[in-house]
Amino acid sequence: MHETIRFESTGPAVVHLAELLEKHGCGPNPPVDTSNPVFDRAVENMVLYFQMTHQDRHGNWLDVDGIVGSGTWWALENATGDAQRSFLEAGIPAGIDGERRKILEIAVRQHGVREDPGRPNRGSEVDKFIPPETLEAAPPWCCYFASWVTRQVFGEDPVGRAVASCYKAYQHALSLGRWEPNDGRVPTPGDAFVILHEDPESVDWCTGHIGFVLQVAEDGKSINTVEGNCGNRVKIGRRVLADPKLRGFINIVGDHPEFDRGSLRGAKDVGGSGTR
């Protein structure tokens, strides 16, 4: 059993953690000094990003707390394949039409696109999302995926240029008047949800994750999503709006149409419709 480690921990467990993070495209920068391994802020930032995008052995999202306990260790060792499948069908709710529907249709068509084995943040299917000049650096690609999808609809990035920073996407949406905080309102399918591990109004930069709202539960308390670089793939998932890290939504289209609520159902075998 692995020991629980966190910010300022030292020793061999930190080296092993850094090796696993690197394996999954979340290598700390600067790298851990193996002669004097310390769990510093660079390591913590990558742990936080990993936790935002992976589930535990029970299919629940990891706590985004920067602490590497049993659940995060398990996910680090089971970060791809069936361990990270959601077994949710794909579906766009009635009432979502026009540009919103196009966003979701394009995003859902990428469902199951994944990184090549042994090539973190890279792959024959994934590389199209990432600007050519940054391919060699193999950056995390959730924000690039969101930008790529919106470009297919609008021919440009309506909420900011293609960047790998969810924090910058939040800033740009705020400046355009397209930011809607997660303050009890119900988002609309086709919005982009944004997770940031710190309050964006109190920091200059922080790690984050982004994807699209696909469905909203009848009670308005959870959403189904389609998101890139989640479990090393484009994945359909479920997130709860009570998550304090889910800071808000980018209203890409700018409207608030009426739509049918209802969660996607899980299935043991959904063939080509399931998360691969």
Mean pLDDT of the chain: 90
| Tens-place pLDDT, residues 241-275 | 999 999 999 999 999 999 999 988 764 333 333 33
Q: What is the pTM of this model?
A: 0.90
| CA separation, residue 80 to residues 1, 24, 132, 218, 236 (Å) | 21, 9, 25, 31, 14
Per-residue pLDDT at 48 exceeds 80? yes
Which among 158, 181, 174, 166 has a CA at the least distance from the CA of 253? 158
Domains recognised in the chain with CATH numbers: 12-79 (no CATH), 87-273 (3.90.1720)
| Tens-place pLDDT, residues 171-190 | 999 999 999 999 999 999 99
- Taking residues 43-56, what's their average pLDDT? 94
Per-residue confidence (pLDDT) for residue 81, from 0 to 100? 82
Per-residue pLDDT at 156 exceeds 90? no
Q: Which residues pair with 238 in a beta bridge?
A: 224
Cis peptide before 30 (omega within 30 of 0): yes
Buried b (16+ CB within 10 A) or exposed e, 135-174: eeebbbbbbbbbbbbbeebeeebbbbebbbbbbebbebbb
